[in-house]
Chains A and B, each alone.
Chain A
Amino acid sequence: MRIGTQQQYLALQELITRAQARMADLQVRLADGKRIRQPSDDPLGTLDVLSFRRAKAVTMTHAANADVGIRNMKLAENALGGMDEIVKRARVLVTHGANAPTTQDARNAMAAEIRTLRERLVGLANSQDGFGRYLFAGTEVMTKPFEEAGDPPVLTYAGDDGKLLLDVGPGTVMEGNLLVDQQVIAAHAALYDAEQRLLSGDVAGLSGVTLQLLQDAGTAINMLRGEVGHRQKQLESAQQIAQRRTDDFTKAISDKEDADMTQVVTDLSAAQAAYQASLASFAVVGRLSLLDYLR
């Protein structure tokens, strides 16, 4: 085959240019560690990466939502635990007050303590989170939900029955708040009842109706605590699942998007060798000429 001199040089230049371009491409891959830097590097892979990223973002929001729920449940549990202690203490006081040998002065003192317990109960029912939002107000979180008013004092609920719904998994919705108005109002009424009966020395009423009311209030609060514990476990489980899924998606994204560094280094070595060979061939061919053999 006949070769034109210009063609010979052009072909060598093309070889060198290609070798340089290949090396530059691999160097960039080595620097940023990415296999897909633009969609045309792998269109279907890009689709997968974007899909995995979207899925990862969703699972991360599930984990974040679960975190909000867990935080709320922990705060609710603290408040409910306090209410339970109040009811328990009231039962102890009422039991003592129901004993015949107990003096009226002692009952009066017990009534005063129960009044304090009632005030603490209202305080706990109006618990707020770290952002000043009321825990037990339904969705009216900026409104103080429980107010005691009137004589005899009646506890009224100013919140609503709105629920804070949280997506914590694919198709899994959980409530992130707790409605306690009925239980708190019942406990408040039981405490008021205890206070009045202690003051009036109604021993029979204390041992009968009051203890039953306190018993019912305590049971109701404990049922709420059980509900809170159950939800907290479910939320923690959902959060763990979401975190595992997040990790899975992170790995899937990396598998698709990131370069196999060992392969890149090997390819770079090969490209370097090809580049050197193209330079060497240029040097060899460039030196050869009939001119050197003519006198």
Chain B
Amino acid sequence: MPSAFTGIDIAARALRTFEAALNVTGNNIANVNTRGYSRQRLEIGQTPPELRWTLSGLTSFGTGTFVNGVLRIRDLFLDGRYLEVSSEAFRSQTMRNVLQTVEQILGEPGANAVSGALDAMFDSWNNLAANPADDGARFDLRMKAATLVSRIRDVHERLVTQDAMLRSQVTDTIGQINTLGRRIQELNEEIRRQTAAGADPNDLLDQRQVALDDLSKLVNLRTQPMQDGTLQVFIHNHTLVGQVEFFPLPANYDAATSTVTDGVRVTTISGGQLAGLFGSLNAVASYRAQLDSFVNEMRTQINSLHQTGINLNGTTGIDFFAGTSGAADLDLSDEVKADPRNIAAGASGAPGDGSVALAIARLREQPLVALGGRSLGQYYADLVSRVGQESLTFQQKLEVQSSLLQHIEQQRQGVAGVNLDEELSNMVKYQRAFQSAAKLLSVLDQTTEELIRAFGR
């Protein structure tokens, strides 16, 4: 025989279940704007039935509901895809940002950039060739050459600063990677503990996913979920987070090969901000080398011609430009800075001889072997175009990857995101169920009361 209070038990369990369901719904609504939050659903199960003998034999009677757990709704495949595409997108974004900065440093095709200053200097050499006895032409040339030196030095120094900033960012990024790695390891510990106790560590899983999302922006990574709820994280051949331990990413790096090393093992960095920074360092180093080649050749060619000339003070063998190593020490020679009459326009020393100035002016269009058969202007223009092309390439890559990342995020949100209309309808659904269970309890209370009253006389 069933107990007289079986129905009351069923109603009570239903009330507790729907109250829990309303709480889960409320939690979803409360976290609608929480980053990384995965919507949750109350898993409602049936309690085991009661078997009773009836006139038709053994019959199964339901006994109500129970809370079977709180399910975190998540698509692990989409999470994996997100990590992969995020690394690629943030590598491109870092490269794009740095290359855009380099474009700003070059300032081309603006009229006041190096190309314009180079043309202006050659214009002045030409003017001196046509007016070799003119002191004004020498003053003008010295001023235009000083402007060119200033522009080149400015580009060089800003590229050096950019290089230093990138190196600082590399150190910061490795630090951030290790901070996130340690955080994931701590979350792993707590998740393992709660999972072992039979709990659903949904909030911790969300926090770990947020940390992984952030980590994927910094570096390429691969994950391996374990039975105990923990997650191993690998960066190429480096285990950042093991099942129980955290192994920091070494801070020694070689940007040229895009690797980090602890002295024994070499780990290749192929994605995320760190790979972008390594790529940017290589790009900036390459641009600096190209700028240095340009400067060295300009200085060598102009000096070698200028040395053959005799200036208005009767001296010869004077350099026009000073310095020996690329753009870093490019300057006008002390003699030229001291007195523009030290500029040699001709080979004979006669004030009307502009032959040397003419030869230097003709350098503007002269193909130079050291520059691969290009003139000075062409070589620099190629550098500018190369920067533009690489910047555009990463911009286009970023657009494609961002669009893909956005698409994946939409899919993730489609699965895991909270929809307020859906939650409101669930709220109404659970509210009605709660009201019905309460009504059931009220009805059972009345029938029990009548029974007690009948037998109590």
Q: Which residues of B contact A142 (CB under 8 A)?
A: 133, 351-352
Known: A7-B413, A38-B100, A38-B391. 18 other contacts (CB 8 A): A4-B414, A5-B32, A5-B421, A6-B33, A6-B413, A39-B391, A40-B100, A40-B103, A50-B108, A50-B380, A61-B123, A64-B127, A133-B351, A138-B350, A141-B132, A162-B350, A165-B358, A291-B424
Are A2 and B351 interface neighbours, CB within 8 A?
A: no
Scan residues 36-61 of chain A and give those whose CB is less than 8 A from a CB of chain B.
Answer: 36, 38-44, 46-47, 49-51, 53-54, 57-58, 60-61
Chain B residues within an 8 Å CB radius of A2: 414-415, 419, 422
B10 interfacial by beta-carbon distance below 8 Å: no
Question: How far is A3 from B422 in the complex, measured between Cα atoms in Å?
Answer: 10
On whether the beta carbons of B352 and A133 are closer than 8 Å, the reply is yes
Q: Is A68 an interface residue (CB 8 A)?
A: yes
Enumerate A1-34 residues with CB–CB distance to B below 8 Å: 1-7, 10-11, 14
Is A140 engaged at the interface, CB distance under 8 Å to the other chain?
yes
With A141-B133, A166-B130 already in contact, the answer to whether A46 and B109 are too (CB < 8 A) is yes
How far apart are the CA atoms of A291 and B423 in the complex, in Å?
A: 10
* Interface segment, one of B159-167, B206-214, B361-369, B445-453: B361-369
Q: With A and B bound together, what is the CA distance between A290 and B129 in angstroms?
A: 83
Query: Is A207 among interface residues, defined by CB-CB distance under 8 A?
Result: no
A-B contact pairs, 28 of them (CB 8 A): A2-B415, A4-B416, A38-B388, A39-B387, A40-B389, A42-B388, A46-B384, A47-B385, A49-B109, A50-B377, A50-B380, A53-B116, A54-B377, A54-B381, A57-B119, A57-B364, A61-B123, A64-B130, A65-B130, A131-B131, A138-B350, A142-B351, A162-B350, A162-B353, A164-B354, A167-B126, A167-B129, A167-B361
Measured between beta carbons, the chain A residues less than 8 angstroms from B32 are 5-6
State in angstroms the CA–CA spacing of A40 and B355 once bound together.
40
Interface residues of B in 92-129 (CB under 8 A from A): 99-100, 103-104, 106, 108-109, 115-116, 119-120, 122-123, 126-127, 129
Q: B425 on the interface (CB 8 Å rule)?
A: yes
When A7-B417, A64-B126 are in contact, do A167 and B100 touch as well, CB less than 8 Å? no
Contacting residues, chain A, for B119 (C-beta < 8 A): 53-54, 57
Q: What chain A residues lie within 8 Å of B346 (beta carbons)?
A: 139, 162
Q: In the A-B complex, list the 8 residue pairs whose CB atoms are closest, starting with the nearest.
A: A4-B417, A39-B388, A141-B352, A7-B413, A139-B352, A43-B388, A139-B350, A4-B413
* B115 adjacent to A54 (CB under 8 Å): yes
Task: Collect the chain A residues with CB atoms within 8 Å of residue B421's CB.
Answer: 5, 289-290
Could you tell me the distance in whole angstroms from the C-beta of A135 to the nearest C-beta in chain B? 10
Contact B103 A139 (CB under 8 A): no
> Of all chain A residues, which has the CB nearest B415?
A2
A71-90 vs B, CB cutoff 8 Å, 1 = contact: the mask equals: 00000000000000000000
Q: How far is the CA of A64 from the CA of B428 in the complex (A)?
A: 87
- Asked if B78 is at the interface of the complex by the 8 Å CB criterion, the answer is no
* Chain A residue at minimum C-beta to C-beta distance from B411: A1
Cβ-defined contact, A50 with B364, below 8 A: no
The answer to the question of B282 belonging to the interface, with a C-beta cut-off of 8 Å to chain A, is no
* B420 in the interface (beta carbon within 8 A): yes
- Judged by a CB distance under 8 angstroms, whether A257 is at the interface is yes
Question: Which residue of chain B lies nearest to A14 when distances are taken between CB atoms in the complex?
Answer: B406
- Tell me, in angstroms, the Cα distance from A162 to B387 when the chains sit together: 46
Measured CB to CB, the closest approach of chain A to B151, in angstroms, equals 14
Question: CA A131 – CA B351 in complex, angstroms?
Answer: 13
Contact of B417 among A5, A131, A166 (CB under 8 A): A5
Interface residues in A163-178 by Cβ distance below 8 A to B read 164-167, 176-177
Q: Which B residues, 371 to 400, have Cβ-Cβ distances below 8 Å to chain A? A: 377-378, 380-382, 384-389, 391-392, 395
Closest to A65 in B: B130
Query: Which of A42, A139, A162, A166 has its CB near the most chain B CB atoms (within 10 A)?
Result: A139
Chain B interface residue count, CB cutoff 8 Å, equals 67
Is A180 an interface residue when CB atoms closer than 8 A count as contact? no
Give Cα A6 to B415, complex, Å: 12
Q: What is the bound-complex CA distance between A36 and B351, given in angstroms?
A: 44
Within 8 A of B (CB), among A204-261: 257
A294 within 8 A of B: yes
Question: B418 at interface (Cβ–Cβ under 8 A)?
Answer: yes
Q: Is A160 an interface residue (CB 8 A)?
A: yes
Residues 342-353 of B, flagged 1 when their CB comes within 8 A of A and 0 if not, give: 000010101111
Q: Is the CB of B419 within 8 A of A39?
A: no
- A47–B382 contact, CB under 8 A? yes
For B33, list chain A residues within 8 Å (CB). 6
Name A's B-contacting residues (CB within 8 A). Answer: 1-7, 10-11, 14, 36, 38-44, 46-47, 49-51, 53-54, 57-58, 60-61, 64-65, 68, 131, 133, 137-142, 160, 162, 164-167, 176-177, 257, 289-291, 294
Q: How far, in angstroms, from A181 to B24 measured CA to CA in the complex?
A: 110
Q: A11-B410, A57-B119 are in contact. Are A177 and B352 (CB under 8 A)?
A: yes
For residue B88, give the distance in angstroms from its CB to the closest CB of chain A. 19
> Which chain A residues lie closer than 8 Å to B362 at the CB level?
167
Asked whether, in the complex, the Cβ of A50 is within 8 Å of the Cβ of B381, the reply is yes
Interface residues as binary, B311-348 with A (CB distance below 8 Å gives 1, 0 otherwise) = 00000000000000000000000000000000000101
The one of A4, A43, A139 that contacts B348, using a Cβ cutoff of 8 Å: A139
Q: Which residues of B contact A43 (CB under 8 A)?
A: 385-386, 388-389, 392
Nearest Cβ on chain A to B371's Cβ, whole angstroms:
14
- A222 to B126 CA separation, bound complex (whole angstroms): 32
Please name all residues of chain B whose beta carbon is closer than 8 Å to the beta carbon of A36 when the two chains form the complex: 109
A264–B16 Cα gap in the complex (Å)?
65
Contact present for A68 and B131 (CB under 8 Å): yes
CB contacts (< 8 Å) of A53 on chain B: these are 109, 115-116, 119
Q: Which residues of A contact B425 (CB under 8 A)?
A: 290
Give Cα distance in the complex from A118 to B400, angstroms: 86
B262 within 8 A of A: no
CB distance from B144 to the nearest CB of A (A): 12
| Contact status A58-B406, CB under 8 Å | no
Within 8 A of A (CB), among B128-157: 129-134
Given contacts A7-B414, A176-B130, contact A50 B384 (CB under 8 A): yes
Inter-chain contact A58/B365, CB cutoff 8 Å: yes
B130 touches A68 (CB 8 A): yes
Assembly CA distance A207 to B99 (angstroms): 86
Task: Return the chain B residue nearest A6 by Cβ.
Answer: B417
- Per the bound structure, the CA–CA distance linking A30 and B351 in Å amounts to 51
CB-contact partner of B378 in A51, A133, A257, under 8 A: A51
1/0 per residue, CB under 8 A from A, across B427-451: the answer is: 0100000000000000000000000
Residues B419 and A46 in contact, CB atoms below 8 Å apart:
no
Q: In the bound complex, what is the Cα–Cα distance between A6 and B410 (angstroms)? A: 10
Complexed CA–CA distance, A291 and B391 (Å):
48
